[in-house]
Amino acid sequence: MEANPPEATTRHEGEEAEILPLLRERWSPYCFSDREIEADKLKSVLEAGRWAPSSYNEQPWAYLMARRSEGEPFEKILSCLVEANQAWAKNVAVLMLSFARKNFSKNGKPNPHHVHDLGGAAAHMTFQASAHGLFVHQMAGIDREKIRQTFDIPDTHEPVTAIAIGYLETAPGPDMAELVERDQSPDRRRSLSGTFFGSVWGEASPLFQ
Ligand SMILES: Cc1cc2nc3c(=O)[nH]c(=O)nc-3n(C[C@H](O)[C@H](O)[C@H](O)COP(=O)(O)O)c2cc1C
């Protein structure tokens, strides 16, 4: 399996400290190639998700997944995204829908961290994808009721996101011009000091003074 492709770059603007290249080079693209993902790489991405930490090791995550090459199963998942997301996600190699189990399987009590843990699994998959030269774009823009009906999802589970995984489109056609523009805008974040407080809420940690 290949490591990062040599042309990998970052869109980050205003970095404040050094981070791993696979984190630095990760971003959520709109211009996906329809190139298939090699089965070993895709399995490796899923395996990374499987090994995410979770409260009481509940592993509240579950997914529906289809490769574009499968045809109808892919179209079914695609049809559950909001239109704005369908417009770009239709090109991607793999689409997933993510679900979180609301209650602990052992005792049926509510699991307050079910969505938190699902997010952790998404992060694991994202960074493993990055290590293989793949990109991930998560989506909140989904039709939850349609997902429940289309796939007969049990009440135990909550639909949370859609996840697109694929290679970047290296030669986007003219019909992709708007998406290219979105992909070229800088990626920015709130500052470290505005995010990590010390012992007083709203005041930067002394680390930054
Ligand atoms: C839970 C979640 C939901 C998101 N929903 C959407 C979405 O519905 N449509 C979209 O285009 N991007 C969506 N995004 C992508 C974010 O807009 C993106 O991660 C953010 O702007 C930071 O950019 P970056 O990932 O390129 O660093 C979502 C990201 C996450 C983590």
Q: Which residues pair with 95 in a beta bridge?
A: 66, 164
Q: What is the chain's length? A: 209
Q: Which domains does the chain have, with CATH numbers?
A: 29-170 (3.40.109.10)
Q: Is 59 in the pocket of ligand 1 (CB under 6 A)?
A: no
Q: Is 139 in the pocket of ligand 1 (CB under 6 A)?
A: yes
- Write the DSSP assignment of 47-88 as a string of letters: HHHHT---GGG---EEEEEEEGGG-HHHHHHHTTB-HHHHHH
Q: Work out which ligand 1 atom sits closest to the CA atom of 81.
A: 8
Per residue in 81-140, pLDDT (tens digit) is: 999 999 999 999 999 999 999 999 999 999 999 999 999 999 999 999 999 999 999 999
Q: Is 130 in the pocket of ligand 1 (CB under 6 A)?
A: no
What confidence score (pLDDT) does residue 209 get? 86
- Average pLDDT of the residues of the chain: 95
For ligand 1, mutation pick of 28, 61, 96 (most atoms within 8 Å of CB): 28
